[in-house]
Amino acid sequence: MKRLIFLAALVPVWAHAGSIYLCKAYSGGTFWARSHCSQHSALIDSIVSVPDSLPFDQQVNLAQQQRQTTANSNAVINTVVNSSAAQEKTAECKALDAQVKHYDAMARQPQTGSTQDWITAQKRKARDRQFSIRC
């Protein structure tokens, strides 16, 4: 039986969240914008929630980190495993370990206090899951 490994989305929810858009120009290039891509004669590639209290360059950095984390998670989610529960647990433990390492790397970068709090909370959730499944 084929089984799909599923990890919870790593999209943060902030009390005062804003959105920024990754726009794709008709010429093929991409750029980040605070306003809807149609106002820049472009198409939406993605929309990312970020704290609206951050400066735009920090919002972009955080959005890029979120997209990378989501891409890494999707790679794990889309991996079809034809295995037993023990193999699924091992895969989940490895994915959780990778998430913790990613959050550690994010925490070492200059961030605002609220972003550091979010990183700490996400890392705690991953560690709690590791403990609950006995990684």
Cα–Cα distances in angstroms (integers) from residue 38 to residues 17, 20, 23, 28, 67, in the given order? 21, 13, 9, 15, 21
- Which residues does residue 4 pair with via DSSP β-bridges, in sequence order? 80
Q: How many residues does the chain have?
A: 135
Give residue 12's pLDDT. 47
Please, what is the average pLDDT of the chain? 80
Q: What percent of the chain has pLDDT over 70?
A: 78
% helix / strand / coil in the chain, to the nearest 5? 50, 20, 30
Provide mean pLDDT across the span 74-101: 75
Kindly report whether the global pTM for this prediction surpasses the value 0.85: no
Cα–Cα distances in angstroms (integers) from residue 9 to residues 13, 66, 73, 121, 122, in the given order? 11, 10, 8, 14, 11
Give residue 120's pLDDT. 92
Q: How far apart are CA 45 and CA 66, in angstroms?
A: 14
Give residue 10's pLDDT. 46
Give residue 28's pLDDT. 85
Q: CA torsion sign, 8 to 94 to 109 to 63? A: negative
Q: How far apart are CA 5 and CA 116, in angstroms?
A: 28
| Helix or strand (DSSP H, E) at 123 | helix 113-132
Give residue 3's pLDDT. 46
Give residue 1's pLDDT. 45
pLDDT band, residue 86 (cuts 50/70/90): confident
Is 63's pLDDT higher than 80? yes
Provide mean pLDDT across the span 2-13: 45
